[in-house]
Amino acid sequence: MKCSEIKRKLSAFLDGEVSEEEKQIILEHLNTCDRCRKEFEALSQVSEVLEVIDEIQVSPFFVTHLKQRITGQKAKSRVHIPFVEWIRRAAVPITAVVLIIISFLVGSNLGKVLHREHAENMAESETDITSVLGVSSLAEFPEGSLGWAYDNLLIGGE
Ligand SMILES: [Zn+2]
């Protein structure tokens, strides 16, 4: 299966709406394809949040308040809006806000990861670190100073 086909099936996969055969194909693909796996991880985070929203217990105060508003609306107009419909409408902006929070969290985590990878790359090369610190040799620091200790540490205490 192509990546585009996998991506189209991911949400059905998360909802358990794919056949056993498709499930195996998707799982195998996710094991080998980084891009689809990332897409899948992002999607599964979103669906977890949506589940949480479904499970959120609406406070009694909110319900009373909402019922009062609905009654008020009914008095003004004769249009009947089911209570469930009101909850559904309220869920849309809530979902939007939660998604924004998630994308913010994912974004800041990504920033941390990138920063860490950058730091690891730097540590791989001694010359990089010494050039960044502006240190070219041990002789630049008097023995026993902090700079000397740090430089000594970098070259393995020789
Ligand atoms: Zn793929």
Q: What is the pLDDT of residue 71?
A: 73
Domain ranges, ordered by start, for the chain: 1-55, 58-114, 125-158
**Ligand 1 centroid to 158 CA: how many Å?**
49
Averaged over successive runs of 10 residues, the pLDDT of the chain (158 residues) comes to 92 91 95 94 85 69 72 61 69 75 71 65 54 53 68 63
Q: Residue 141, SS3? A: coil
**Ligand 1 centroid to 22 CA: how many Å?**
14
Q: What is the pLDDT of residue 17?
A: 92
**Ligand 1 centroid to 30 CA: how many Å?**
7
CA dist 147 and 133 (Å) reads: 10
CA dist 146 and 25 (Å) reads: 57
Closest CA to 35 of 11, 4, 60: 4
**Ligand 1 centroid to 93 CA: how many Å?**
32
pTM for this predicted structure: 0.35
> Could you identify the residue written with the tokens 């502006």?
134
**Ligand 1 centroid to 123 CA: how many Å?**
33
Q: Residue 5, SS3? A: helix
**Ligand 1 centroid to 28 CA: how many Å?**
10
Q: Classify residue 156 as left (phi > 0), alpha (psi -120 to 50) or beta.
A: left
**Ligand 1 centroid to 11 CA: how many Å?**
14
| CA distance between the termini of the chain | 56
The residues near 83 (Cβ < 8 Å, ≥ 6 apart) are 66, 67, 70
